[in-house]
Amino acid sequence: MRTLTAGLFMAIDGVVENPQDWHFPYYNDEMGAAVDAQLGAADTLLLGRKTYDGFAGAWPDREAAGGPDAPFAAKLGDARKVVVSHQDHDFTWRNSEVLKGELVEGVSALKAEPGGAIGISGSVSVVRQLLAARLIDELHLLIHPIAVGAGERLFDPAAPTLPLTLLRSATFATGVIHAVYGPGELGEGGYEDAKQHLPQDN
């Protein structure tokens, strides 16, 4: 079974919308390495239509320009790109195709295919649905030390409870926390259990 990872830039108040407006001052070598390990190492990219359109409108030109971001742009270009959409499209970015079938069934089939890791970037609606279906093996959150205020958040307040397990974490020099979560189980216990761990007077 192939591993499916998802990566998002997140403000400390949970906002994930339009990270290009606030996250670049925090982008350093540590974050670049984290993004490359999650997304650049994947041989297949799973993208929502909006995220795909943004990528396809930028990365091919960056690859052609030959600047310092060209090698990463080439990685994205060479990867298989599977787009979540209910419409057929004439793709101009190489190695692009539409996901076959409905999201959960299509991604389950994709994970069962031979191949390496599958990476998601952004694509908030897709990530929400796949988290609920427990199909994401690793959720990479790059939590920035800034409260944006307005904007879409990853977790819908109307959604059911979603327990996660912290797999690993690191703090970058910029104050960004890279937290990697996997599926978890809802714990049991209440205050009567918790109070046993309160400091006791000697």
Whether 169 is covered by a domain: the verdict is yes
- Cβ atoms of residues 168 and 123 within 8 Å: no
Residue 29 half-sphere exposure toward CB, CA atoms < 13 A: 0
- Cβ atoms of residues 181 and 164 within 8 Å: yes
- Cβ atoms of residues 126 and 4 within 8 Å: no
* Helix, strand, coil distribution of the chain in percent, nearest 5: 35, 25, 40
Whether 174 is covered by a domain: the verdict is yes
* Residue 101 belongs to domain with CATH number: 3.40.430.10
Whether 15 is covered by a domain: the verdict is yes
Cross-sheet strand order for the sheet of 96-98 = 96-98, 80-84, 44-48, 118-121, 4-11, 138-144, 177-183, 164-171
Whether 54 is covered by a domain: the verdict is yes
Quote the pLDDT of residue 103. Answer: 96
Compute mean pLDDT per 10 residues along the chain, 202 residues long, and list them.
Answer: 97 96 97 95 94 94 95 95 87 94 95 96 94 97 97 91 96 98 90 87 72
Question: Tokens for 181?
Answer: 């979560």
Phi, psi of 8 (to 5 degrees): -140, 145
Whether 114 is covered by a domain: the verdict is yes
Whether 202 is covered by a domain: the verdict is no
Number of domains in the chain: 1
Model pTM above 0.85: yes
With 0-12 CB in 10 A as exposed, 13-18 as middle and 19+ as buried, what is 198?
exposed
Quote the pLDDT of residue 19. Answer: 95
* Domain containing residue 13: 4-197
Beta strands at 164-171 and 177-183: parallel, antiparallel or unpaired? antiparallel
Whether 132 is covered by a domain: the verdict is yes
Quote the pLDDT of residue 202. Answer: 67
